[in-house]
Amino acid sequence: MTDTASGDIETVAVDLADRRYVIRVGAGLIASAGTELADLIDGRHVVVIADEGLAGDHLGALEGALRQSAARRVDTLATPAGEAGKSFERYQDLCERTLALGIDRRTLLVAFGGGVIGDLAGFVAASLLRGLDFVQIPTTLLAQVDSSVGGKTGINTRSGKNLVGAFHQPRRVLIDTGILDTLPPRELLAGYAEVAKYGAIGDRAFFEWLERHGTDVIAGDPAARRQAIVASCRAKAEVVAGDERESAGGRRALLNFGHTFAHALEAMAGYDGSLLHGEAVAVGMVLAARLSVEAGACTGQDADRLARHLDTVGLRTELDAVDPSRGWTADALLGHMTRDKKARDGRIVFVLLDELGAARVRDDIDPALARALLSRPRAA
């Protein structure tokens, strides 16, 4: 994998043989999208699927850049963000609206928004005309470091999160770090949980760097933000290149650290916006670290260190702190976890820490350990 840097723009490669693509990271990439995507546009019809909340300067800048390119035609479809929007109804609506534009197999779709928009637009691209090329332009920190890279697309169902979808890799990812300056603090913090995840599961040096500079990332230091994003994208790109479709026992499953708990929390919250994905992941990672201790896999010091770091940057890490009135119950959460798409033959699959910077996938954990942990959600 060859990464490059040019001025203030860095390039991270995702090596997937004939489907190799690059992630471009830096400020100003939205305004220069026409130039950045010129080789892909090349006279094609371009359809932007955008978060309707971006229908201002950001969307105008992207549309202007694309219309100054060699695109044959540029159309924009706006749709609401939010996990509740990752539904069959919204997916069908976007498919119908896209088809109504008179697309063909050369049409290029552009996902412009956070992780929900990327997942939806990517699934639309994977489905229409048996597969259209698409580009990810993520506008939240979480989408920039996680969901925009790797080709996972999909929607939620009543049974759980992301249970209907497809693997469909983007042709390119443009990460404009400047847009984070306009991101609400809560969204920024939620995205930071995924950044910390990469250090926790596979790069202790990066985790230690985050301990020193994580507050700078949150505060808006441009260099710290770009370094955190590039390191996160590089980590995910390496995993995806080696295990694109998350094979049984493969490395990609490590990216689910904390997510078995997180997806259950989100399902119980009803995807109503009261609990963001990254907020659930922060709680889930701490629970997974504590379960690692209970299972004899890592030390309590490492689990406490992870929780302390997330607390320091401003993330909530306890179930009761997320919503004391929610009434989480161990049995209800475990019920959702057994229906998680990662479950194997009825067994819950967890990603546990051996230590900070090293993790493994486990499907041999006694559910009683998780039940006991969830029954006493506050740290000792």
Averaged pLDDT in 10-residue chunks for the chain of 380 residues: 67 91 97 97 97 84 95 96 91 98 98 96 98 98 96 91 94 97 94 98 97 97 97 96 82 93 89 90 97 96 98 91 71 88 84 97 93 72
Residue type, 126: A
Identify the pLDDT of residue 87.
Answer: 94
Identify the pLDDT of residue 272.
Answer: 83
- In this structure, the answer to whether residues 168 and 84 fall within a common structural domain is yes
| Cβ contacts of 290 within 8 Å, gap of 6 or more | 303, 373, 379
What's the number of domains the chain is made of? 2
- In this structure, the answer to whether residues 146 and 289 fall within a common structural domain is no
Q: Supply the Cα-derived Rg of the chain in whole angstroms.
A: 20
Identify the pLDDT of residue 380.
Answer: 40
- In this structure, the answer to whether residues 53 and 105 fall within a common structural domain is yes
CA-CA distances (angstroms) from residue 48 to 178, 179, 184, 200?
20, 17, 23, 35
Identify the pLDDT of residue 1.
Answer: 45
Output the domain CATH number for residue 201.
Answer: 1.20.1090.10
Identify the pLDDT of residue 379.
Answer: 44
Identify the pLDDT of residue 89.
Answer: 96
Domain membership flag for residue 211: yes
Identify the pLDDT of residue 7.
Answer: 60
- In this structure, the answer to whether residues 273 and 194 fall within a common structural domain is yes
- In this structure, the answer to whether residues 267 and 366 fall within a common structural domain is yes
Query: Final residue of a domain: which of 137, 166, 182?
Result: 182
Domain membership flag for residue 261: yes
Domain membership flag for residue 146: yes
- Domain span at residue 64 reads 4-182
| Cβ contacts of 134 within 8 Å, gap of 6 or more | 108, 109, 110, 111, 121, 122, 125, 168, 170, 171
pTM (2 d.p.):
0.92
Identify the pLDDT of residue 375.
Answer: 87
Identify the pLDDT of residue 6.
Answer: 55
- In this structure, the answer to whether residues 137 and 195 fall within a common structural domain is no
- In this structure, the answer to whether residues 97 and 227 fall within a common structural domain is no
- In this structure, the answer to whether residues 141 and 65 fall within a common structural domain is yes
Domain membership flag for residue 380: no
Identify the pLDDT of residue 3.
Answer: 63
- For the annotated catalytic residues, the residue numbers are 130, 152, 194, 236, 246, 252, 256, 259, 263, 277
- In this structure, the answer to whether residues 245 and 144 fall within a common structural domain is no
Identify the pLDDT of residue 270.
Answer: 83
- In this structure, the answer to whether residues 201 and 155 fall within a common structural domain is no
| Residue 91: DSSP 8-state | H
Query: Final residue of a domain: which of 182, 208, 242?
Result: 182
Query: Final residue of a domain: which of 137, 156, 182?
Result: 182
